[in-house]
Structure 1
Amino acid sequence: MAKKPFNDAQVEIWKKFTETLFHGTHMAITPQQVVDNLQVMFAEMHGDKPCETGLSLYVIWLALGGPFFHFASPTARKRKFEKKLQNRRVDLFQDFARIRGIIYAGYYGHWLGGEHGSEEDNADNPVLKSLDFTLPTARQRAGAPQDPPVVEETSGDLPPSVFFDSSTVPAEAEVIVIGSGAGGAVAAANLAASGYKVLILEAGEHFPASRITTHEKIMSSNLYRDGAIQTTRNRDIIVFQGQVVGGSPVINNGIALRAAPHHVLHPQAENVLDIWASLGAPVSRTDLDTSYDRVETRLDIKPIAKRLGRNNGTHLIRAWNAYKPTSNDALDQDAVLEWFSKNWGAYGTDRACVSAGYCNTGCPYGRKNAPPETWLADATKAATPAYIVTECEAEEILWDGRNDAGERIANAVAVKFRDGTRKAIRATKGVVVAAGTIASSNILDASRIKGTGEGISLNIACPVPALMEKRQNAWDEDQMATYVDRGDFLIESHFQPPMSMSTLVPGWFEEHYQRMRNYSRLASAGVLFPADRLGELKNGKLDFHLDDHTLNTLKRALATLSKVQLAGGALEVYPALLRGQTLWKGMDNDAVDAFFRDNIKEADDVVLSSSHPHGGNAINSDPKKGVVDLDQKVHGTSNVYVTDASVMPSCIRVNAMLTTMAMADRVTHGKRIFG
């Protein structure tokens, strides 16, 4: 490995931190191997995150005592960790405490055979063996007749001929689409079908199924922005966003929920389209449903087979049914319990899910109908084919005067390639911005569009793993299979491969180590709750603070899920609190409620994440209240549209992929939106 992001001094700090965090345990690899893994993980990242993390390392080290910490005994260093990082309520030290997740990733992400090591190379991986975890190609499943073979399917991979780089990119296109994810891919396919010459700009690389593996740390570093450790400005919330051809749908679970369905909705849940209309953004339900139908058909959306949730998914159903009779809450009594619908093929087809459990680092077996396999394939195969430019970050839109109505006319996009090259690519017809809530807002702001980056919403997730009496093998199925719509929040079954799961399981020192040793006995689910229009961009970064109402929803959601886990037979429950506290079998509902009232005072007390940022460039008929009009054209411009989740005027409460695609389809399908 030529590139080493951490210098010798930083390496020594990492080693001391690792020794401290694993003090009293029997590590399967050495602290030096953990640091070597971190070097590999951060070397694969692009941008400023490796440098930023290295500088933070010095600050944490100094806060812990600097040289005094360094030369103290392991026991004394552990006491310092407990005092300064685990048990302090000071925001700064709570932020520092999140370094534990990085170290755990370095340990549980251990991989043999280097960057290109195979699953066969890792048959004797000592860390995986210590967890009793079996990699997908070596699994012997009880339901073998129903399970397709775990083999790679690469028929959906895009060919090299559709890609440009900094040396081959054309000087102009009719339409430039910024972003290749959910909204950008749909818009590109529809515009190409309408006869436009489309050029798609993507800041990330192309990772077809043939390049995606079960090597978690390499995949996380390459497929996510900031290597999956991007946070809000205050570091309270991790924000997961894809940075790869195909965008976030490449690394999501394929969950396809409508924001305003006709059914399968809690009767007391707010109607999203009614809220939008009240804000000045009436969107026709008929038009949106037509687009939902079209998107669901193209992605082959259907309820997943029950075999895909045989362990953890069915556990949530059983646990909820055991909990429900103990509750007097009307929201619980009216809750909707369902299996997810997703975007891969049915059993018997080449794209049938093999339930490997690696959705969040890209399917290693090519089974998702993500944008590269669907919309981008359609765009590049159109009569007037679209092309994709990789490792190309749009910086701003350039303008060429105004039309007779006084609207600005876009004529080019200024871009920066990963190799440092900068160019301006002409757009002879128009520009579509679909780079995601944060990037799109920053691009529009740099292009002197007013009001962008305001009113950003998040669907925020928080996990609650639980220790069961017997083996669960929750890792041997689809990561997310079932859910409960409880009206004010959702509960979703979920499980992760070892590296990712280690960062979700709370706890410190021997306690965390033992929880991970029980990996195969864990069941897990998470809450998903809406944080509506609480964020804005400041200096390009998301500033987001939970208000009292949202914090109370979080407490209520975690309490409910903890009760569900206990009702489902859990011996211990591990809500994702930063200090790692435990709930025990035998606690009654009142005690659980009191636990969360006492232990959550602010967002910093909990490990929170979001994969669904939306808003920032909201639809509104009034230019003073929104960035884009009802057709998603930027107010005050003649030929700039936004087709990603940033146009959503309020929080939609559920996974945003399907609605983002439907909204993009609504304004581009069968239309010549540019002159």
Structure 2
Amino acid sequence: MAIIDPILNGLQDGWRHTDASKLLHNQHFEADVVIVGTGAGGGVAADILTAAGLSVIMIEAGPLKSSRDFTMEERSAYPNLYQQAGAMKTADKAIGIFQGRAVGGSTTINWTTSIRTPPEALAFWEQHKSVTGLSEAALAPWFAQMEQRLNIQEWSYDPNRNNAALKQGCINLGWDYTVIKRNVLGCWNTGYCGMGCPVNAKQSMLVTTIPAALDKGARLISRANVVNIEHHNGQVLALKAQALNERNQPTGVELQFKARHYILSAGALHTPTLLMRSAVPDPHQLLGKRTFLHPTLLSGAIFADAINGHSGAPQSIYSDQFVWQAGAEGELGYKLEVPPIHPVLIASKTLGYGASHAELMAKFNQLQVTIALIRDGYHPDSQGGTVHLTPTGFSVDYPLTDVFWRAARRAFASMAELQFAAGAVKVLPISDGMPYLSSWKDAKETIAQMSLAPLRTVVASAHVMGGCPFGEDEQLSMVNSYGQSHYLDNLSVMDGSIFPTSLGANPQLSIYGITARNATALAQRLTQGR
């Protein structure tokens, strides 16, 4: 069956795409709206603004790739599609961070899980973070719009064995579980979503909103890194960018962008970094602060039968049994999911070396992995991390505090209990020094005494949020509830950096829905009187 490549077809039909790595001379571009970043926020905003008749330029630091480049091999996917080849970490190396770096952003390489913003998060934002107009009822039509636009619906096929273990454990224990909604159309159920969809079934920005915007005349500049926002007297005057070569190094060619309005959608690390580097007004020192990661713990389990967690939809079941159990401001809750099980991903996130690591990898096809995503940002002792500028870019400090480690211990116990309930032969909490545990009784006693510490305990994150919060109170927020800057009249932020806490849910649908609302309001404002 031939795979239609919308990127290749669009380029042949005359899309206005410039690969900045090919430019030999400095360039100047102008449009009604310039958008920095092409992920969940930038892609949705571009689609809505071009549909309103505005001229739009999308700028992306990463390359333009398509299904013909997605080989389902980790050795090419991570260096080509991920920030720092998938090896990005916090400053102390204690937390690994996965984030996309290509046209489509993280939507190109995520695992398709689509969950509306939990009402508990929305209520907390309204009560404590001065966010207005974002109740569950107010957002419902925007979520519905984006669910229809991106074919987000409940996964109707049986879960793969990795997800089925999570489901069965929940059933046997009487725990809550939910069948996940996925943004896919014609999915082949291969399980390689994290390496870019080779059949264009994943309804990422790469194959939906970005092609739609380009079809309507938008321009895309790839391999262009925006390095400065020129501003004066409450107005953005221009953006300055550097062209990058295929090794992500500046070529020496400089680009300038001018617009009526500017949107930052570079993500929760790069949007605050760009704002700080550009010295935008920040009187309350909020930029880069309260950066949240859903720091995630892993528990491996060996089953007697084959799990084959590399095959089939990566995520199709989750459990919210423990997310809000203690209330929003109580002890930190955690969401239970599973990751896809691919060799490099698992080998780099498990324990041991030499014989012990080889023994674990020898059981690769019988390995089930459950993950616990810690909901950070609500408890008074969970303030998240801080993005700092460095001479070569940025660093992220994320202190793992006592309240996190208490949640981690509970999460390891919950994951072990669930895995044994699902039929695991033995369980291995992914923290250095832990042995294989042969029963739930053994696990309960051992986990209660296990040593937990940075670098000793494997912690990872694929969800970066915060650092440029929204709200109406300027002491708490950088932009208002529509993403409009409090300090620069023609600047908006539309990405996960606006979240004042983590979500307790995978973030892509939250970004889609809130951006749809905010970009629609911006389009109405910019076209008023035409």
TM exceeding 0.5: yes
Q: In structure 1, what is the equivalent of residue 380 of structure 2?
A: none
The aligned residue for residue 330 of structure 2 is: none
The residue aligned with 1:396 is 228
- What is the aligned partner in structure 2 of residue 438 from structure 1? 269
Q: Output the CA distance in 2 between the equivalents of 1:294 and 1:156.
A: 24
Please give the secondary structure, in 2, of the residue aligned with 1:507: coil
Q: Does 1:283 align with 2:133?
A: yes
Partner SS, residue 262 of structure 2: strand
CA distance in structure 2 between the partners assigned to 1:369 and 1:156 by the alignment = 13
Q: 1:374 to 1:157 in 2, by over 3 A?
A: farther
Pairing partner for 1:315 from 165, 179, 183: 165
Q: Deviations over 1:400-424 (max 9, x none)?
A: x43xxxxx11121010111423434
**Of residues 79, 86, 90 in structure 2, which corresponds to 1:221?**
79
1:577 aligned to 2:424?
A: no
Mapping 1:445-464, distance limit 5 Å: 445-449=276-280, 450=282, 451-464=286-299
Instruction: Specify the SS of the correspondent of 2:429.
Output: coil
Matched, 1:643 2:481: no
How far did 1:274 drift? Answer: 3.2
Cα deviation, residue 290, structure 1: 1.8
Instruction: Answer 1 or 2: which has greater helix percent.
Output: 1
- The equivalent residue for 2:207 is 373
2:243/2:255 contact within 8 Å kept: no
Distance (Å, rounded) in 2 between the aligned partners of 1:386 and 1:277: 39
Give me the whole-angstrom Cα distance separating, in 1, the residues matched to 2:337 and 2:476: 34
Out of 517, 524, 528, the residue aligned to residue 672 of structure 1 is 524
Change (3 A) 1:336 1:586: closer
Question: What do the CA deviations read for 1:122-181 (whole angstroms, capped 9, x no partner)?
Answer: xxxxxxxxxxxxxxxxxxxxxxxxxxx8x7453465622331133296532221100000
Q: 2:314 is paired with a residue of what secondary structure?
A: coil
| Equivalent position SS for 1:210 | helix
Larger CA Rg, structure 1 vs 2: 1
1:672 and 1:556, CA in 2 relative to 1: closer, same or farther beyond 3 A?
A: same
CA contact (8 A) 2:117 2:503 kept: yes
Cα deviations by residue, 1:493-542 (Å, 9 ceiling, x for unpaired)? 33322222222332332122122111111222211111223111122211
> Are residue 657 (structure 1) and residue 483 (structure 2) matched?
no
Partner of 1:565: 419
Give, as a single letter, the amino acid of the residue that structure 1 aligns with 2:287: T
The sequence identity of aligned pairs, in percent, is 21
In structure 2, what is the equivalent of residue 259 of structure 1?
117
Give 1:295's aligned residue: 146
Separation in 1, partners of 2:48, 2:114: 20
CA contact 1:158–1:372 (8 Å) conserved in 2? no
- Counterpart in the other structure of 1:204: 62
Residue number in structure 2 paired with 1:429: 260
Distance 2:170 2:134 in 1: 35
**After alignment, is 151-160 or 482-491 more displaced?**
151-160
The verdict on how the C-alpha distance between 1:473 and 1:153 changes in structure 2, with shifts beyond 3 A counting, is: farther
Q: Which amino acid aligns with 1:604?
A: L
**How many Å separate the matches in 2 of 1:636 and 1:301?**
36
Residues 409-448 of structure 1, C-alpha deviations (whole Å, 9 max, x = no match): 1121010111423434232301100000110001111221
Matched, 1:360 2:194: yes
Structure 1 CA distance for aligned equivalents of residues 430 and 508 of structure 2: 25
Structure 2 Cα separation of the partners of residues 531 and 217 of structure 1: 32
Q: Give secondary structure in 2 for the equivalent of 1:669.
A: helix
Question: Which of 179, 195, 205 pairs up with 1:339?
Answer: 179
**CA positional deviation for 1:320:** 2.2
TM-score with structure 1 length normalisation? 0.70
Q: Closer, same or farther in 2 for the Cα pair 1:164/1:648, shift >3 Å?
A: same
Distance 1:283 1:231, change over 3 A: farther
Task: Map 1:490-509 onto structure 2 (within 5 A).
Answer: 490-509=335-354
SS in 1 for 2:68: coil
Q: Answer whether contact 2:192 2:310 (CA < 8 A) is retained.
A: no
Aligned residue in 1 for 2:385: 535
Larger RCO, structures 1/2 (Cα 8 Å, 6+ apart): 2
Distance 1:460 1:173, change over 3 A: same
- List gaps (5 residues or longer) in structure 1: 1-148, 262-269, 325-334, 346-351, 403-407
Partner of residue 146, structure 1: none
Residue 368 to residue 321, structure 1, CA distance change in 2 (3 Å):
same
Kept after mapping to 2: 8 A contact 1:414/1:425: yes
Assess if the C-alpha contact under 8 Å between 1:323 and 1:568 holds in 2: no
